[in-house]
């Protein structure tokens, strides 16, 4: 579509060539997404930093730029593939989407020197805003489709995890609670059978009391493992701090700012931090790890960063036993489900950074 718009706009403004650059928000740069011939095949291959070149300036300032002689304009930046030497003048207009948010930039160039007028700027702004809305809708659709897919995977994984959890719980109840209860029953029975001998009764009751205490401890342990109850009592920040205390091995740096989120989002961030810290302990061989929670313009960021051995995130699909590893996948799913973005940056030899960012609207 960007390409078709480029062709139409070139004709309508009697220009020679048109480029549509779209902002890649994650990488903070402009990417060429549509052009008129002979540049159509360059789509996706040419990038400009925000602020770089006339298009970069327009993206940064959200204002049009009319450039009658680009060689005299210090904003101009020469990109060999786009053959700037063949064109003299240009006009560049931001693609403004919802809330006047800059989605990209549209440029038309002319071989002959000319000064583009208000009429051209108005036309480009109008077409640009239609294009911006289409791009935004396409992105929303893509995000929705991805979330839907995540949701399906999450549902499947939840059922699987539930089964594993049930088996685990059955084991805990069997070993930690049923076993002591059985012994308890024997001791009480013995006390009953020797009711006439106070020394035996006292001895058996003492044993029974110890066993009751042990069973109670086990029950508490099982319950604590099921739900991070500190979240309900203290909130996310203090819960993360107490999580940091459980880290064994590397030195832990904690920097937790105040942040309160909806309950389901707090659980997601807590579990992600928990898995990230567990990974640091299991795999990183790090000497330091830092756990940070901060708020920036209303959006919430959680960072777990270690100085350990690092890894290739793209290749980390299996754990040491060759079984599918669920830690990283689970972290991503949890983040996506609450509308947050998870980014794992790691290179072998230079540590790992796990970043979760929760947009202000959801935080």
- Which residues inside 172-191 make contact with ligand ATP, applying CB under 6 A? none
Q: Binding of Mg ion at residue 327 (CB under 5 A)?
A: yes
From ligand ATP, Mg ion, none, which one binds at residue 274 (CB under 5 to 8 Å depending on kind)?
none
Q: Which residue is nearest to ligand ATP (CB)?
A: 327
- Give Rg (Cα) of the chain: 31
Dist CA 28 CA 52 (whole Å): 11
The site for ligand ATP, by CB under 6 A, has a size of: 17
Do 150 and 337 form a contact (C-beta atoms < 8 A)?
yes
Tokens of 95: 């693609």
From ligand ATP, Mg ion, none, which one binds at residue 283 (CB under 5 to 8 Å depending on kind)?
ligand ATP
Query: Which of 279, 310, 333, 354 is close enough to bind Mg ion by CB under 5 A?
Result: 279
Q: Taking CA 99 as the corner, what is the angle to CA 98 and CA 102, rounded to the nearest 5 degrees?
A: 75
CA distances 194 to 164, 200, 207, 209, Å, are 44, 7, 15, 17
From ligand ATP, Mg ion, none, which one binds at residue 249 (CB under 5 to 8 Å depending on kind)?
none
- CA 152 to chain centroid, in Å, comes to 18
Instruction: Specify the residue for token string 């805003």.
Output: 129
Q: Which is nearer to Mg ion, 31 or 281 (by Cβ)?
A: 281
Dist CA 305 CA 345 (whole Å): 9
Q: Binding of ligand ATP at residue 281 (CB under 6 A)?
A: no
SS3 102: strand
SS3 283: helix
Query: Which of 2, 300, 328, 358 is close enough to bind ligand ATP by CB under 6 A?
Result: 328
Whether residue 38 is preceded by a cis peptide bond, meaning omega within 30 degrees of 0, is yes
Q: Angle, to 10 degrees, between the axis of helix 198-226 and the axis of helix 179-193?
A: 160
Query: Which of 184, 240, 279, 291 is close enough to bind ligand ATP by CB under 6 A?
Result: 279
SS3 142: helix
Q: Which is nearer to Mg ion, 161 or 223 (by Cβ)?
A: 161
SS3 205: helix
Q: Binding of ligand ATP at residue 325 (CB under 6 A)?
A: yes
Q: How far is the CB of 342 from ligand ATP (least distance, A)?
A: 12
Q: Which is nearer to Mg ion, 51 or 327 (by Cβ)?
A: 327
DSSP 1: -
Closest C-alpha to 15, from 100, 96, 109: 109
- Which residues inside 340-359 make contact with ligand ATP, applying CB under 6 A? 352
Q: Which residues contact 166 (CB under 8 A, 6 or more apart)?
A: none
Q: Which is nearer to ligand ATP, 154 or 311 (by Cβ)?
A: 311
Q: How far is the CB of 251 from ligand ATP (least distance, A)?
A: 15
- Which residues inside 297-316 make contact with ligand ATP, applying CB under 6 A? 306, 308-311, 316
Closest C-alpha to 53, from 40, 70, 36: 70
Dist CA 335 CA 265 (whole Å): 8
What is the contact mask toward Mg ion in residues 49 to 68, using x (rule: CB under 5 A)? --------------------
Q: Which is nearer to Mg ion, 12 or 281 (by Cβ)?
A: 281
Q: Which stretch binds ligand ATP (CB under 6 A): 3-11, 218-226, 250-258, 320-328?
A: 320-328
Tokens of 294: 């901060």
From Mg ion, ligand ATP, none, which one binds at residue 280 (CB under 5 to 8 Å depending on kind)?
ligand ATP
Q: Which is nearer to ligand ATP, 234 or 329 (by Cβ)?
A: 329
What is the contact mask toward Mg ion in residues 223 to 262, using x (rule: CB under 5 A)? ----------------------------------------
Contacts with ligand ATP by CB under 6 A lie at 279-280, 282-284, 306, 308-311, 316, 319, 325-328, 352
């Amino acid at each position: 579509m960007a390409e078709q718009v480029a062709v139409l706009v070139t004709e309508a403004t009697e220009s020679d060539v048109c480029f549509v650059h779209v902002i890649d928000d994650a990488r903070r740069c402009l990417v060429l997404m549509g052009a008129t011939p002979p540049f159509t095949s360059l789509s996706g291959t040419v990038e400009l930093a925000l602020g770089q070149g006339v298009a970069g300036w327009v993206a940064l300032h959200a204002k049009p730029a009319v450039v009658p002689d680009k060689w005299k304009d210090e904003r101009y930046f020469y990109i060999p593939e786009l053959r700037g030497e063949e064109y003299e003048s240009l006009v560049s207009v931001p693609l403004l989407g919802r809330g006047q948010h800059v989605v990209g930039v549209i440029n038309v160039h002319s071989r002959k020197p000319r000064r583009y007028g208000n009429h051209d700027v108005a036309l480009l702004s109008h077409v640009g805003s239609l294009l911006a809305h289409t791009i935004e809708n396409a992105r929303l659709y893509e995000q929705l489709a991805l979330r839907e897919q995540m949701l399906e995977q999450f549902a499947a994984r939840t059922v699987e995890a539930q089964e594993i959890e049930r088996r685990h719980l059955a084991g805990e109840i069997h070993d930690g609670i049923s076993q002591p209860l059985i012994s308890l029953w024997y001791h009480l029975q013995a006390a009953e059978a020797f009711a006439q001998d106070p020394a035996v009764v006292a001895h058996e009751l003492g044993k029974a009391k110890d066993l009751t205490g042990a069973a109670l401890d086990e029950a508490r342990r099982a319950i604590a493992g099921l739900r991070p109850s500190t979240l309900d009592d203290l909130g996310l920040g203090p819960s993360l701090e107490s999580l940091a205390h459980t880290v064994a091995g590397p030195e832990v740096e904690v920097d937790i700012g105040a942040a309160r989120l909806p309950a389901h989002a707090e659980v997601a961030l807590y579990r992600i931090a928990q898995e990230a810290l567990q990974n640091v302990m299991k795999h990183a061989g790090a000497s330091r790890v830092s756990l940070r929670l901060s708020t920036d313009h209303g959006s919430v960021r959680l960072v777990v960063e270690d100085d350990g051995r690092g890894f290739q995130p793209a290749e980390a699909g299996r754990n040491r036993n060759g079984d599918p590893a669920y830690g990283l996948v689970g972290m991503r799913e949890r983040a996506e489900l609450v509308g947050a973005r998870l980014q794992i940056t790691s290179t072998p030899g230079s540590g790992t950074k796990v970043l979760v960012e929760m947009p202000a609207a959801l935080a």
